[in-house]
Amino acid sequence: MAIVKLAVPIAIASLLSAAPAFATGTIHCETSVRDGPEIYLVVGRGAAGSVTQMHLSGSAGQFTTGNGPTAPVISQTWLDRQELKVDVIDHNAEFHVARLIGRRAGENRYRATLRYRGRTYPMICAFED
């Protein structure tokens, strides 16, 4: 019985240590609208990049997706060389909290719009190194 109790943690540790390393990056989005929101997106890089977290702050409020039991969550994302899309919903999946949609506007940049709290903001989003 003691061997079984020891084998399970060892097996879990070996699986976790064998997991591939994922490179992440950040996309920073800002607007020219006074007191408008600012966004940081955590992005997994690789063949199929994806947005894994959004932090939005500004005078209209702030949130970080997945940060707490009632925090908003990312419902859908799309990230490729031409488009950037992120949909954020409330934790009960009852309504959209924010929607960011952008098109490529140069090397590592997107021109986007953000819908948040009944307003639409023009945004410029760029990869940070």
pLDDT in tens, 29-41: 999 999 999 999 9
Say how far apart CA 61 and CA 51 lie, in whole Å.
21
Confidence of residue 23 (pLDDT cuts 50, 70, 90): confident
Query: Does residue 20 surpass a pLDDT of 50?
Result: no
Question: pLDDT digit string (tens) for 86-107?
Answer: 999 999 999 999 999 999 998 8
CA 17/CA 53 separation, integer angstroms: 24
Q: Rounded to a whole number, what is the distance in angstroms from the first to the last CA of the chain?
A: 50
Domain 22-128 belongs in CATH node 2.40.128: yes
* Domain residue extents for the chain: 22-128
